[in-house]
Amino acid sequence: MVREPHHDKKKSFRLITMDINLKIKNEIASLLKKHGLKIKPQDLREPPQAEMGDISLPCFILSKEMKKSPEKIAEDLAKVIKPSGFIINIKNIGSYLNFLLDYAKVTEMILTEIKKERSDYGLNKTGSGQKVMIEYSQPNTHKEFHIGHVRNICLGSALVNLYQASGYKVIAANYLGDIGAHVAKVLWYMLNYVNEADIGPDKGEFLGQAYSRAIVELNSDPEKQVQVQEILQRLEAGKDRDLMFLWKQTRDWSLDAFNEIYDELGIKFNVDFFESIEEKEGRKLLPMLLKQDFIKESQGAIIADLEEYKLGVLVLLRGDGTSLYGLKDIPLAIKKFKKYKIDKSLYIVDNRQSQYLKQIFKILELLGFKKDMLHVPYEFVELKSGIISSRTGNVVTYEEVRDAAMTKVVNETKIRHVDWSEEKINEVSKKIVLAALKFGMIKQASDKIITFDIEEALKIDGFTGPYLLYTNARLNSILKKAETEGIKLTGKTDYKALESNIEKQLIKDLLAYPQIVLEAQIKNDPAILAQFIHRVCQNFNTFYHELPVMKAESEIRLARIILIKATKQVLENSLAVLGMPILKEM
């Protein structure tokens, strides 16, 4: 059964966040239209320096059409266009026509908007009416859950949130590798080398070790591989009751361990798919598949021959009749669309499987199943000691990283808050660790290999998750102080009071947020949002050091408090999208 994601009907019908930034750009576009110029809002950009203006039109794009130099165009336009609405002044600098905004007006609009929209600020409706399934995580049972899996989860869950923020109905799907060669190897090892007493309390850890030990044993003796092959055959046949019992038992160990990790990471899936089930579905498809010209027998195996599409061949069934991953992915892809009525299917999968997924998509296309399926690739996580490999045991597990980070953060927190209870220190530290881990995985574009360095991951200053939480704690601290001092947050606000460059920069940041969310979703790249929100925090911290809030004159103080509230809202909204926790103090 699919558990539908929480969806408030009332909300989906109301107008979500008005993008003021876009509104301003549209206004400029229509201002230019009066002078016969066709400008799209996206042609307008932000000047590199605040003194130059707030929004800029590069006149190079008009040069050819108008048969004038861009400098001349900017100069002439600056003379004839009259400021109006949000625009208070227009000037030309070189080949750029720069617009200055009426900040009091813009500030009032944006701060009022954020106050009204709260956690809805930044949402858009570009995906409304569309249903997308995002498959991510996809761990193999009977193996350890390592730090590389964490990258996938952070990316996948952030994409789920981003698509929801764009109005899509999202089904978050997990696909668990609970059958296959790796499972057979572990079961074989357990049957031959393990006594009940050898199994420790941490079942997940035990299975991980069993897997790498099995590999060692198998490498030493090719004859043992025949035994594994035979186990896989029995497993797929499903008739050996003792074997099936052991499989189910160990499978549950893994699934329990995974669920614990998902809970810790705050991850929820709407639906779980299993390879063991898709394997059966794949076999049902076999008669149909074998009728296809491109699916044939070769060297005893059943393959899909995709040579003519320059995609090589994909083995579906081994020579011994056991099945491979491709046979399972085909029925699953179809099921996603037919059963769940989705419009779009996303696969958050390691870049190394990009050729494989092209093969799967091509096979489906050749079967007449042409749908909107997209592989969202990301580069893997490697260790200083080389590529992560369960086979060679070169693995850093999620738990190892979490524990090391926890020790460090707890120590740090104890030093800072001697008066806090053990319980509070643990609670806060857990969130800091989670923030560090998640932000660390998301902050860099997914096409970059992350060389995982535990020291790097434990860092809590700079471009890190804890920096964001710390900033939020500071924001909270001011608001808390305002509250205890009984500062009234009502009455007329003088938005003109927010006149310094850094305050204007913060206003610009708040304005940009909805566009950033949309861009991150369209590009399937949460790093865009991560980088943005870090910049906002930097700007706030600069503001924090430059300008007092509580000690400012009462009118200025009120305006600044409202700015702070809005900044906090945008920060918290961003953290929520990135799947990160929020802390009031740290």
Alpha carbons 269 and 137: distance in angstroms, whole number: 10
DSSP state of 55: E
Determine the interface stretch with RNA among 27-35, 122-130, 262-270, 541-549 (rule: CB under 7 A): 541-549
Residue 544 is a binding residue for RNA (CB under 7 A): yes
204 binds RNA, rule: CB under 7 A: no
The bridge status of strand 301-305 relative to strand 295-298 is antiparallel
DSSP secondary-structure letter at 177?
Answer: B
Interaction between residue 188 and RNA (CB under 7 A): no
Report the residue number, 125 or 384, with the smaller CB distance to RNA. 384
Show contacts with RNA in window 117-176 (CB under 7 A).
Answer: 138, 140
The set of residues, in sequence order, having a beta carbon less than 8 Å from that of 504 and lying 6+ positions away, is 50, 103, 498
Q: Is 473 in the site for RNA (CB under 7 A)?
A: yes
Nearer to RNA, 16 or 180 (CB): 180
Residues 2-41 that bind RNA (CB under 7 A): none
Neighbour-count burial of 341, counting CB atoms closer than 10 A to its CB (0-12 exposed, 13-18 middle, 19+ buried): exposed
Among 153-161, 194-202, 461-469, 487-495, which window interacts with RNA (CB under 7 A)? Answer: 461-469
Contact flag: residue 227 with RNA (CB under 7 A): no
Give yes or no for residue 484 binding RNA (CB under 7 A). no
- Closest approach of Cβ 535 to RNA, in Å? 7
Q: Which residues lie closer than 8 Å to 53 by C-beta, 6 or more apart?
A: 47, 89, 91, 93, 98, 99, 100
b/e map of 405-416 (b: 16 or more CB within 10 Å)? bbebbbebbeee
**Binding residue (CB under 7 A) for RNA from 61, 406, 454, 582:** 61
Q: Does 486 bind RNA (CB under 7 A)?
A: no
Shortest Å distance, C-beta 196 to RNA: 27
Distance in angstroms (rounded) separating the CA atoms of residues 32 and 78: 11
CB count in 10 Å sphere of residue 88: 16
For RNA, which residue of 243, 286, 315, 366 counts as binding (CB under 7 A)?
Answer: 315
Q: Within positions 390 to 409, which residues make up the interface with RNA, using CB under 7 A?
A: 409
Among 18, 26, 41, 52, binds RNA (CB under 7 A): 52
348-356, 398-406, 492-500, 506-514 -> range binding RNA (CB under 7 A)? 348-356
DSSP secondary structure string for all residues of 446-460 = TTS-EEE-HHHHT--
89 binds RNA (CB under 7 A): no
Find the part of the chain contacting RNA (CB under 7 A) among 77-85, 118-126, 467-475, 489-497.
467-475
Of 119, 128, 192, 477, which one interacts with RNA (CB under 7 A)? 477
Q: In the complex, what is the shortest distance from the CB of residue 381 to RNA, in angstroms, rounded to a whole number?
A: 10
Q: Binding of RNA at residue 230 (CB under 7 A)?
A: no
Q: Which of 81, 207, 215, 432 binds RNA (CB under 7 A)?
A: 432
Give me 175's structure tokens. 């696909």
Regarding 551 and contact with RNA (CB under 7 A), the answer is yes
CB of 13 to RNA, least distance (A): 32
Q: Find all residues with CB under 8 Å of 548, minimum gap 6, and list them.
A: none
Does residue 444 bind RNA (CB under 7 A)? yes
Residues 97-116 that bind RNA (CB under 7 A): 98
Contact status: 298 vs RNA (CB under 7 A): yes
Q: Identify whether the C-beta of residue 487 lies closer than 8 Å to the C-beta of residue 549.
A: no
Please spell the DSSP secondary structure of 468-484, one letter per residue: HHHHHHHHHHHHHHHHH
Q: Is the dihedral of CA 448, 454, 457, 460 positive or negative?
A: negative
